[in-house]
């Protein structure tokens, strides 16, 4: 049997990580891996999370399973964080998952059960795991225009044109905020227009929200998903806690369905539990427990909000500093988009050859499509990156 296996495509980011580790240069810069790093290059445990862990150690009395869908307290805390007062509890079904990736996978499994012939519409570009999982599941997919390679902004007219071809029952996958890999985000008016279009087309939105709080703030970053929840009769949401709570290795995510027909909620909840049972039975709980404690304890929540805001403002500062450094070196504003983008990532607009030249000559490691992790920078490395970008002729 096993001799029939064939080699699968290597993950480009994991390959890049290995290349970075093997590079002996002391001034090398890792802008590839998608994790937040502070000025010292570390991914710290957030203060409130560490405090919650201490409390949990004192009070936890069992490591027995939670329910198939996870802890309802986690569901409620995350629904409040993502949706606010947009939807009532009776409209929401939820299941804890192993990270945001698990939520995406379970959401796609749910779609395949409910509408196996539906087409999944993906932004061009999108997070590489989106099309990879869809292809593995044998589902239909098509791209819609999203990123303008010239302006480095959202190609909204192209997006509207492409999505006008969506059929009833199709699913449109949208990034809730801090678009990965481009960093280019829709504004409030554009979200409203997309919501109206999807309603008219009888399409179902599936929102991947992995960076809430990293862009314009917790409430602003949730505008799009909340607008869709207000407008559409039903939707799916995959939420990740890896970034905004820094619990990457705890694999903490949540899949939610939101429906205006509360009579469907029980069926949705039962289906989510069934899917968990088929894939991994009971979801992990440690990270979910910590997130729930942070969100429901006033002191912990306040400290978390303060640190999250410091992280957000720090990334905005790095963006502005890099944009200013490139303006000084080029005498133009063509890199001003870096200050306008939000979240951890921006797509620089460099060719694969230019990315390779920056890696070989300057030790700058970014994904071959020129997606770079802004959080991988600090004040000392910004001039090095700016010189490399200019030297490569980007």
Mind telling me the catalytic residues? 127, 208, 210, 243
Q: Which residues pair with 346 in a beta bridge?
A: 372
Contacts 24+ apart (CB under 8 A), 144-151: 144/172, 146/179, 146/182, 146/184, 147/123, 147/179, 147/182, 147/184, 147/347, 149/349, 151/337
For residue 318, the number of C-alpha atoms closer than 13 Å in the C-beta half-sphere is 28
Please check whether residue 236 is in contact with residue 91, taking contact to mean a CB–CB distance below 8 angstroms. Answer: no
3-state helix, strand, coil split of the chain in percent (to 5) is 50, 15, 35
Q: What is the spatial distance between Cα 307 and Cα 268, in angstroms, rounded to a whole number? A: 35
Phi, psi (rounded to 5 degrees) for 241:
-105, 0
Q: What is the spatial distance between Cα 29 and Cα 377, in angstroms, rounded to a whole number? A: 8
């Amino acid at each position: 049997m096993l001799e029939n296996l064939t080699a699968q495509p290597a993950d480009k980011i994991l390959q890049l990580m290995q290349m970075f580790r093997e590079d002996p240069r002391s001034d090398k810069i890792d802008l590839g891996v998608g994790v937040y790093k502070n000025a010292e290059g570390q991914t710290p445990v957030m203060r409130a999370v560490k405090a919650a862990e201490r409390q949990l150690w004192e009070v936890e009395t069992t490591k027995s399973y939670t329910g198939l869908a996870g802890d309802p307290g986690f569901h409620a805390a995350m629904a409040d964080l993502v949706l606010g007062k947009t939807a009532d509890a009776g409209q929401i079904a939820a299941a804890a998952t192993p990270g945001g990736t698990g939520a995406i996978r379970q959401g796609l499994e749910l779609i395949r059960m409910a509408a196996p012939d539906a087409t999944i519409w993906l932004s061009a570009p999108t997070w590489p795991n989106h099309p990879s999982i869809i292809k593995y599941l044998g589902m239909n997919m098509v791209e819609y225009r999203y990123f303008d390679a010239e302006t480095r902004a959202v190609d909204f007219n192209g997006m509207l044109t492409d999505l006008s071809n969506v059929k009833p029952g199709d699913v449109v996958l949208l990034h809730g905020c801090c678009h990965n890999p481009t960093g280019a985000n829709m504004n409030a008016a554009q979200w409203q227009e997309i919501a109206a279009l999807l309603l008219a087309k009888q399409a179902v939105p599936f929102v991947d929200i992995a960076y809430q709080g990293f862009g314009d703030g917790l409430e602003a970053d949730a505008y799009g998903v909340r607008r869709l929840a207000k407008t559409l009769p039903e939707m799916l949401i995959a939420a990740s806690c890896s970034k905004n709570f820094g619990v990457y290795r705890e694999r903490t995510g949540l899949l939610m369905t939101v429906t205006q027909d509360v009579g469907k909620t029980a069926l949705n909840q039962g289906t989510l539990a069934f899917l968990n049972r088929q894939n991994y039975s009971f979801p992990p709980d440690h990270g979910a427990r910590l997130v729930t404690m942070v969100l429901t304890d006033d002191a912990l929540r306040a400290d978390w909000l303060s640190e999250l805001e410091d992280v957000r403002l720090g990334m905005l500062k790095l963006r502005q500093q890099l944009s200013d450094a490139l303006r000084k070196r080029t005498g133009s504003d063509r890199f001003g988009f870096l200050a306008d983008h939000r979240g951890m990532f921006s797509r620089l607009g460099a060719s694969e050859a230019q990315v390779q030249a920056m890696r070989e000559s300057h030790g700058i490691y970014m994904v071959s499509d020129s997606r770079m992790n802004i959080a991988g920078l600090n004040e000392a490395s910004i001039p090095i990156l700016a010189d490399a970008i200019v030297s490569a002729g980007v």
